[in-house]
Structure 1
Amino acid sequence: MADTYPWQDELWRQLAGREQHAHAYLLHGPAGIGKRAFAERLLALLLCRSPQNLEACGKCKACLLLAAGTHPDAFALEPEEADKAIKVDQVRDLVGFVTQTAQLSGRKLVLVEPVEAMNLNAANALLKSLEEPAGNTVLLLISHQPSRLLPTVKSRCVQLACPVPDEAVGLRWLAQALPGLSDEERGELLALAAGSPLSAARLQEQGVREQRALVVEGVKKLLKQQQGPSQLAEGWNAIPLLLLFNWFCEWAHLVLRYQLSKDEQGLGAADMRKVVQYLADKSEQARLLALQDWLLEQRQKVLAKGNLNRVLLLEALLVKWASLPGQG
């Protein structure tokens, strides 16, 4: 059975209770809020032969086949390798599945995650199936970044914004998932995950709090001219590039916001507040805006899985960061 999360209850009641379903749903929202589990739960319900109380029974032939990964009317499409694109040949396999007759329940279900991983050719190959899927087919598309999708893909789906839990709900869930941590540590994780509880739990598994402490210490040494960009870039080799750019984009935004508002309540996490204030006081706004533009541009390249030289990119970032208060 798919995992269930309390912040999804209302959306589930609205969707699972429908007598008729759209041919394609686009489930979108930030990563780490349970969209995949929600889609798998819906897929199981729509294939189940004896649903009970808006849930798959878990006991019928369809449910047993699905649990074993051998249901003939279920198809999942994902990148063949982590963080790689979904290729056009994979989508052609999907299209072939959609054109077949359902073998068991009279309905076919397709799950695609993440939709934005499709390259242009793959996305175009999917359009016909999205617009007029053969037979009784329901496509469940999952997107963490719907802004990257083709308008022609989005327009062919019923778009469902998946809820992000409020802080109290997220912390209660984390208290059960990570009972060995303190309330303060769970709060730090949830903040680092931008409020997404499942992402917060994964960050703990990946040791991200320790990684962030290393980066924050490095940034402070950089600004004090105690360590150089090249040395830091090499030392951060194990830290995901996207995570680094997320942090630096956030910090640049906080510096700019504090310059404009002087609101000490908007300085972000405690570990960088003094640095944010220092840079806001010492940096020219034009230089800060130029850095922010550059950071966002490079972050998009990272998201697009561009062929980037990691060390040179980080060195460039750190040289620009060190130059904010007139250093370097």
Structure 2
Amino acid sequence: MPEVAFPWHDTVWTQLTEQAQHAHAYLFSGLPGVGKRRFADAFAAFLLCTSPSHGMGCGRCRSCLLREAGNHPDLMLIRPEEEGKAIRVDAIRQLVDFLGQTAQQGGSKVIVLHPAEAMNQNAANALLKSLEEPTADTYLLLVTDQPGRLLATVRSRCRIQRLPTPSHDAALAWLANTVPELDNAQRLNLLQMAGGAPLRAAALHELDAVQLRERVVGNIKALLKDKQSASQVAESWSKIPLDVLIDWFCSWTLDLLKLQTGAIQHAANSDMDVVLGYMAKHVSAQQLMEWQDWLLAHRSMTLGKANLNRGLFLESLLLEWKQLLKKR
């Protein structure tokens, strides 16, 4: 049921639902995979419910039944037309038209916009007027993984509410209930890949990420031993989501930095411990910092939906990684 928030958000949920008045616009932020969209949906249900009880939508009033059926006339969902695409100005114009209408159920109107960072410049500018001139009993719920990519003027007109990442034990407990077919070691592996975000870990499981990761690590080792070329490896990764691959390289780079500075003795990514341990001893600090700058810049471009040629980007990524050992 969307009215039930994740347990690690209980404190934030209680604080919001117990307020006598609510902000016109909220910006829910946090790591990918901590349940921000689920939280926003639950809060929308609460705001629309005509008889909320104990900080929850009742699930029985006409408003709740309409929402659960997916056809509540006073609830609008704004998202990209296609996964990974931008939210364009036409969608925001529809939002503005919606705001100008009278609530058909006689209560509140709610818009959930996700992911907010997907708005292009024109869309974000079009949204500003609605944020500056709020309509009574209307609530905008923006959800983002990357608040820094939003216009400062958009952020400043929202109440920013960061949703926390659960504790390690809470995340593992949730995963145990969600993917009971996995053993604890497999859940730990997925959670480590997901940076501690349990929903992200569950999504990685759906992608069969453990097996994909084994293949990727094998390819990396073959590349460094000159048994596979960068183009061959890049081609073999054609079905792996780019954001997953980049996250793995970022995690390995963080381990490299920690190993080189002596902050850790063994890589957190145990499947790459030998490779990273060797690289940490043979890569200069200067080159490692330059590599990190390159990686983060290209990660930002990818997250920003830059029109990168996937094959060429992956080849460049792999060649830069391999060249680390030859630049000392």
1:80 Cα shift?
0.7
Contact 2:176/2:187 (CA < 8 Å) preserved in 1?
yes
Deviations 1:80-126 (A, max 9, x none): 11110000010000011111121213311111001000001100100
1:163 Cα shift?
1.4
Mapped to 1, the partners of 2:52 and 2:264 lie a distance apart of: 53
Task: Give the RMSD, CA atoms, in angstroms.
Answer: 1.3
Deviations 1:165-191 (A, max 9, x none): 010000001111111111000000011
Contact 2:25/2:141 (CA < 8 Å) preserved in 1?
yes
Deviations 1:153-211 (A, max 9, x none): 11001110101101000000111111111100000001111111111111101111111
Aligned ranges for residues 1-328 of structure 1 at < 5 Å? 1-2=1-2, 3-261=4-262, 263-265=264-266, 267-326=267-326
Percent same amino acid among aligned pairs?
A: 48
Mapped to 2, the partners of 1:256 and 1:62 lie a distance apart of: 53
1:256 Cα shift?
2.1
Query: Please, which moves more after superposition, 32-41 or 251-260?
Result: 251-260
Unaligned runs of 5+ in 1: none
Query: Please, which moves more after superposition, 303-312 or 198-207?
Result: 303-312
Mapped to 2, the partners of 1:131 and 1:124 lie a distance apart of: 11
Deviations 1:199-250 (A, max 9, x none): 1111101111111111111111111111111111111111111211111122
Mapped to 1, the partners of 2:72 and 2:319 lie a distance apart of: 54
TM-score normalized by the length of structure 2: 0.96
Equivalent position amino acid for 1:300 in 2? S
Contact 2:255/2:269 (CA < 8 Å) preserved in 1?
no
Structure 1 runs, 4 residues or longer, greater than 3 Å off: none
SS at match of 1:169: helix
Mapped to 2, the partners of 1:309 and 1:44 lie a distance apart of: 41
Contact 1:62/1:105 (CA < 8 Å) preserved in 2?
no
Contact 2:109/2:139 (CA < 8 Å) preserved in 1?
yes
Mapped to 2, the partners of 1:133 and 1:99 lie a distance apart of: 10
Q: 1:90 to 1:262 in 2, by over 3 A?
A: closer
Equivalent position amino acid for 2:55 in 1? L
1:299 Cα shift?
1.1
Contact 1:77/1:90 (CA < 8 Å) preserved in 2?
yes
TM-score normalized by the length of structure 1: 0.96
Contact 2:75/2:109 (CA < 8 Å) preserved in 1?
yes
Deviations 1:30-88 (A, max 9, x none): 11111111111111111111111111111111111111122111111000111100000
Contact 2:86/2:118 (CA < 8 Å) preserved in 1?
yes
Unaligned runs of 5+ in 2: none
Contact 2:50/2:107 (CA < 8 Å) preserved in 1?
no
1:251 Cα shift?
1.4
Mapped to 2, the partners of 1:16 and 1:207 lie a distance apart of: 38
Equivalent position amino acid for 1:311 in 2? G
1:262 Cα shift?
5.4
The alignment covers a number of residue pairs equal to 326
Query: Please, which moves more after superposition, 82-91 or 295-304?
Result: 295-304
Mapped to 2, the partners of 1:312 and 1:54 lie a distance apart of: 51
SS at match of 2:318: helix
Mapped to 2, the partners of 1:90 and 1:49 lie a distance apart of: 28
Equivalent position amino acid for 2:288 in 1? L
Mapped to 1, the partners of 2:307 and 2:23 lie a distance apart of: 38
Contact 1:49/1:105 (CA < 8 Å) preserved in 2?
no
Query: Please, which moves more after superposition, 78-87 or 62-71?
Result: 62-71
